[in-house]
Amino acid sequence: LTKEEVERLLSSCTEGFYPFVYTALNTGMRKSELTYLRWKDVDLDKRKITVHSREDWQSKSGKSRTVDINDNLFRFLKEYRHQRSEYVFCTKDGHPLANNLNRRFRNAAKRAGLSGISIHNLRHTFASHLVMAGVPLGTVSKLLGHADIKTTMIYVHLSCDHLKEAVNKVNF
């Protein structure tokens, strides 16, 4: 998604769904990692989120990893912190925000005038914008929790404008 599309998507999210989408865009975390994220795994002092398997949920690789919290997400999470559940993204009654996530996303995307995208596109958007900002692929791979940089290459979609800028850096 372009920055303009991201802005439209965020403005189209319901109040209860916005925090989930905003965090996904700023961390590149997987849908399931966000769904079962607990406050005790969010360390605002160190600005880190720990993703690890538990009895009730398995991470994709089964391994633990940490995700850094950027400045914007840090400010957001400080304001957003609620006490109704151990889960960061939850329903009003405290259950993980697991039901109807895909439907919620499709509805927000439709209101934003976007089609053919899924929640997983937020992870692709995170990776692509990091690469377009000049972040090395190895770093992006680590941020996404990939064991192999080849997997990261699947996530990297560069905008046409970025490609034009890149080719203009060669000037013979």
Q: Quick: pLDDT tens for 9-33.
A: 999 999 999 999 999 999 999 999 9
Please give the positions annotated as active site.
Answer: 30, 60, 120, 123, 146, 155
Residue 112 has pLDDT above 70, yes or no: yes
Residue 98 has pLDDT above 60, yes or no: yes
Neighbouring CB atoms inside 10 A of 100's CB total 11
The pair of three-digit structure tokens given for residue 84, joined into one six-digit string: 């109704």
Rounded average pLDDT over 132-161: 79
Q: Which of 70, 15, 17, 81 is nearest to 47 (CA)?
A: 70
Better-scored residue on pLDDT, 154 or 133:
133
Contact predicate 68/28, CB 8 Å: no
Residue 152 has pLDDT above 60, yes or no: yes
Consecutive H or E run containing 51? strand 48-51
pTM: 0.86
